[in-house]
Amino acid sequence: MRLGMAIDLKRCAGCYACVAACKAENGTPPGIFLRRVMKEEAGTFPRVRRVPYPIQCMHCQDPACKAVCPTGATTQRADGIVLVDDEKCVGCRYCIMACPYGVRFYHAKIREYYPGQGLTVYEELMYKLHPTGVTEKCTFCVHRVEKGLEPACVANCPTKAMTFGDLDDPESEVSRIVRDRRGMQLRAELGTDPSVFYLSP
């Protein structure tokens, strides 16, 4: 089993709803976005395009972050999900350097969303899930996946731009769409074999 995702850039509206969905589901602290939307501009006026594309942990089959982790904190499950064990993580941040996608964050200390005004009750509750001194990244919402739910970004996408499922199963929706639309991996040349595929706009 290899859990993965296809992101259809023909559907993506660049609206940032997935970024908010990730933040809302995981309660991430200020400045930490386990999922972001990048916008790449090409061309010169008036022939110019700007394509929005979401990025997050690619849950690579051969994760560069795992290879450099000195404590074995970064692990990969049998279903392909790459996770960080914060009890083993010592916060050395080698993984942040090694990740080709810039999707890992170091949580140095608890910060408030309203600086100098204390944590909101929401933050008090949610930041318990975010220990300091360790690295964080997208987990494919493993806590949802284990209950049979889709990751929050997928479940909430207003345009249904994302398909999530088992890439090892040729009959799965995600495998079919990656095959039919010739899904591409970001920076495939690095050989990390990401499990997130992009379908061209």
Partner 1 sequence: MALVKELKAEKEDVWIPSVCNICYSNCTIRARRVDGVLVKIEGHPEAANAGGGGRICAKGQSGIMLLYDPNRVNYPLKRTNPEKGIGIDPGWQRISWDEALDTLAAKLKEARQKDPRSITLTFSAVDTLSFGFTAAWWMALNYFSNWWVSGAGPHCGNGEHAMAAILHGAIHTQVDYDHCNYLLMFGCGAGAGMYYNATASMRWIADAKVRGMKVVVLDPLLSTPAERADEWIPIKPGTDGYVALSMINLLVNEYNLYDAEHLKTHTNAPYLIKKNGKYMRDRETSKPLVWDAGEGKAKTYDDPTIKDFALTGTYGVDGETCCPGFQALKDHVKKYTPEGAASISGVPAGTIRRITKEFGEAARIGSSIEIEGHKLPHRPVGVLYFKGAQAHKHTLWTAMALSLLPEIVGAADTPGSLLGSNPRCLGYPETGLPRWEPIEGPDGLLIAGSWIGPPPSALSEVKVPENISLQEISPLSVLGTGQPFTLLDPAKYGLKYTPEVLLMTGCNVIMTHTEIPKVAEAIKRFPFVASLSLHLDEVTEFADLILPEASYLERYDLPQPPTLAGYHNSAILKEWLTSLRQPIVEPLYERKPRHEIIFHLLDKLDLWQDFAATYNMVAQLREPYLLDPNKRYTWTEILDLTLKSHFGEDHNLEWFKKNGVIKWKKKPEESYWKHFMKLRVPIYFEWFVDLRERTEEVLRQLTYGEELDFSDLQPLPDWGPCASHEEKRPGFDLYAFYYRVPTHTFSSTYNNAWLDDLGQIDPTVYNLVMNEDYGKKKGLKEGDWVWIESMYGGRTKGKLHLTQGVHPECLAIANCGGHWSKYLPIASQPEKGSCFEWLMKLDPKCVDWTVQNWDLCVKVKVDKA
Applying CB under 8 A, which residues contact partner 1? 8, 10-17, 19-21, 23-25, 27, 30-31, 33, 36-37, 39, 41, 43-46, 48-52, 75, 83-87, 113-118, 120-123, 125-126, 129, 131, 139, 142-143, 146, 155-161, 201
Longest dimension (CA), the chain: 53
Identity of the residue, 120 or 191, whose beta carbon is nearer to partner 1 in the bound complex:
120
Task: Give me the residue label for tokens 């039919």.
Answer: 180
Q: How far is the CB of 123 from partner 1 (least distance, A)?
A: 8
Identity of the residue, 11 or 176, whose beta carbon is nearer to partner 1 in the bound complex:
11
Q: What is the distance between the alpha carbons of residues 104 and 57, in angstroms, rounded to a whole number?
A: 7
Identity of the residue, 71 or 120, whose beta carbon is nearer to partner 1 in the bound complex:
120
Identity of the residue, 132 or 190, whose beta carbon is nearer to partner 1 in the bound complex:
132
Residue 127 near residue 27, CB atoms below 8 Å: yes
Q: How far is the CB of 125 from partner 1 (least distance, A)?
A: 5
Q: What is the distance between the alpha carbons of residues 173 and 164, in angstroms, rounded to a whole number?
A: 8
Identity of the residue, 62 or 124, whose beta carbon is nearer to partner 1 in the bound complex:
124
Residue 103 near residue 34, CB atoms below 8 Å: yes
Q: What is the distance between the alpha carbons of residues 134 and 87, in angstroms, rounded to a whole number?
A: 9
CA dihedral 25, 27, 28, 33 (to 10 degrees): 30
Q: How far is the CB of 27 from partner 1 (least distance, A)?
A: 7
Q: How far is the CB of 43 from partner 1 (least distance, A)?
A: 6
| b/e burial code for range 115-136 (CB count within 10 A of at least 16 → b) | eeeebeeebeebbeebeeebbb
| b/e burial code for range 20-31 (CB count within 10 A of at least 16 → b) | ebbbebbbbbee
Identity of the residue, 62 or 85, whose beta carbon is nearer to partner 1 in the bound complex:
85
Q: How far is the CB of 165 from partner 1 (least distance, A)?
A: 19
Q: How far is the CB of 85 from partner 1 (least distance, A)?
A: 5
